[in-house]
A and B are shown apart, each in its own frame.
Chain A
Amino acid sequence: MAFTARTAFRWLLGFIVAALAVWMAGCNRAGDAAAPGFRGIDLTGAPYGRGFRLTDAEGRERTLADYKGKAVLLYFGFTQCPDVCPTALIRAAEVRKLLGAEGDKLQVIFITVDPARDTPQVIKAYTAAFDPSFVGLYGDAKRTRETADEFKVYYKQVPTGSSYTMDHSALSYVFDPQGRLRLAMRHEQTAADYAHDIRQVLAGR
């Protein structure tokens, strides 16, 4: 039998159908609720962000292990910040509400990058204004720098007027209940995005 145009057409058709099938299978997999389709940046297995050793507003030393059994949402900021930090903490409070009954399984932690001005009293009042369950942590200048380095968090004092402001990374980090760093969420993402990912982390995905 000669290799006719019809045969060529059949081959081509067969190829298209097969390609479509593969492509659709891929789509199905992406839409599968069992697959960990995170909206944040997946940091699972990252060789950094392993933990911290800081002080809480009551003067107790705190490490990540203290929050084992809960997912942790970690944010670096400073209280003299009128815009991004309140927005991040308002969102964190909203995320806890969106999680409903699971809200208690999320510990929100605020680490100051401005320990010179953020005294324990200020940190405590500040975090409590958003949600009494939030924990604010600080260290001395050296410990703060070490902690930020561990998380690849950038911060820098920038003079303005007679005072100064802080440039700082505005990512929020998510740990799973086993204390493993899993995600970095961007500032532009919504409370729903955060809750979506944290729900999966709580479910062991």
Chain B
Amino acid sequence: MKRFALTLAVLAVAAAAHAQVTVKDPWVRATVPQQKATGAFMQLTAAQDVKLVAGSSPVAGVVEIHEMVMDNNVMKMREVPGGLPLSAGKTVDLKPGGYHVMLMDLKGQVKDGEVVPVSLVFEGKDGKKQTVEVKAPARPLNAAAKTDPSQGGHAGMKH
């Protein structure tokens, strides 16, 4: 039993050493029935330089990392080419008016209050990939961009 506890402790330390990305305040915009796409928003802070290169979610057929830009009053939404770079220690805010995790080919309605699991894949400079599991609660379709501290989500680590 003691050995088991020790093993657990070692594992925890190992996980902490690799815990390079912290996810804060994740949320997904709820949808109406038959709406096929929505966005996930959150704050990402990486301990070392990494890139957010991919994502997946059981609620969506396709997950992409998108950037919204305004070009002469025309809204354009594009996949971030080559992934979204995170500089060590600098928080990148994925929020309306900038970046979002685009959830497409939704398998059903995302209802207000539902917790949406999203896996995000980060790639380090050494090419090593790590997956961060995010649990993002759905906020109403008409939720504004500002973050609500009472609705904080949870982020866990997986290797």
Residues of A near any B CB (own CB < 8 A) = 79-84, 86-87, 89-90, 93, 117, 119, 121-122, 125-126, 129-130, 154, 158, 160-163, 165, 167-171, 186-188
20 A-B contact pairs sorted by A residue (CB < 8 Å): A80-B104, A82-B38, A82-B96, A82-B100, A83-B97, A84-B68, A87-B96, A87-B97, A90-B142, A90-B144, A93-B142, A122-B33, A122-B35, A125-B35, A129-B32, A162-B104, A162-B105, A163-B37, A163-B105, A167-B77
Which single member of B32, B79, B100, B104 contacts A83 (CB below 8 Å)? B100
> Are A86 and B141 in contact (CB-based, < 8 A)?
yes
Q: B-side interface residues toward A, CB under 8 Å? A: 29, 32-39, 61-62, 64, 66, 68, 70, 73-79, 96-97, 100, 102-105, 140-142, 144-145
- Chain B contact residues: helix, strand, loop or mixed: strand
Q: A87-B145, A90-B142 are in contact. Are A82 and B75 (CB under 8 A)?
A: no
In the bound assembly, the distance between CA atoms of A84 and B39 in angstroms comes to 11
Bound-complex Cα distance A163 to B105 (A): 8
Known contacts A90-B142, A163-B62, A163-B105; is-contact A82 B74 (Cβ 8 Å): no
Are A160 and B78 interface neighbours, CB within 8 A? yes
Known: A82-B100, A87-B96, A126-B32. A165 touches B141 (CB 8 A): no
Residues of A within 8 A of B97 (CB): 83, 87
Asked if residues A79 and B142 are in contact (CB atoms below 8 Å), the reply is no
Q: Nearest-CB distance from B124 to chain A (Å)? A: 25
B73→A86 contact, CB < 8 A: no
* B29, A80: Cβ atoms closer than 8 Å: no
Given the contacts A86-B96, A167-B74, A187-B73, A130 and B142 also touching, CB distance less than 8 Å: yes
Contacts of B77 in A (CB 8 A): 81, 83-84, 158, 160, 165, 167
Does B70 contact A187, Cβ atoms closer than 8 Å?
A: yes
Given A87-B97, A163-B62: A129 and B140 interface contact (C-beta under 8 Å): yes
| Contact B32–A125 (Cβ < 8 Å) | yes
When distances are taken between beta carbons in the complex, the residues of chain B under 8 Å from A129 are 32, 140-142
Minimum C-beta distance from B107 to chain A (A): 14
User: Which of A84, A126, A160, A188 is within 8 Å of B141, CB to CB?
Assistant: A126
Note all chain B residues with C-beta closer than 8 A to A122: 32-35
Q: Are B70 and A188 in contact (CB under 8 A)?
A: yes
Q: Do A82 and B76 form a contact, CB below 8 Å, given A125-B33, A130-B142?
A: no
B102 CB contacts on chain A under 8 angstroms: 82, 160
Q: Is the CB of B75 within 8 A of A160?
A: no
The smallest beta-carbon distance between B113 and chain A, in angstroms, is 14
CA–CA, A79 and B62, complex, Å: 17
Closest to A79 in B: B35
A122-B35, A160-B66 are known contacts; what are 4 more A-B pairs with Cβ within 8 Å? A82-B29, A122-B32, A122-B33, A165-B77
| Of the residues B33, B79, B141, contact of A130 by C-beta under 8 Å | B141
Among A130, A158, A169, the residue within 8 A (CB) of B73 is A169
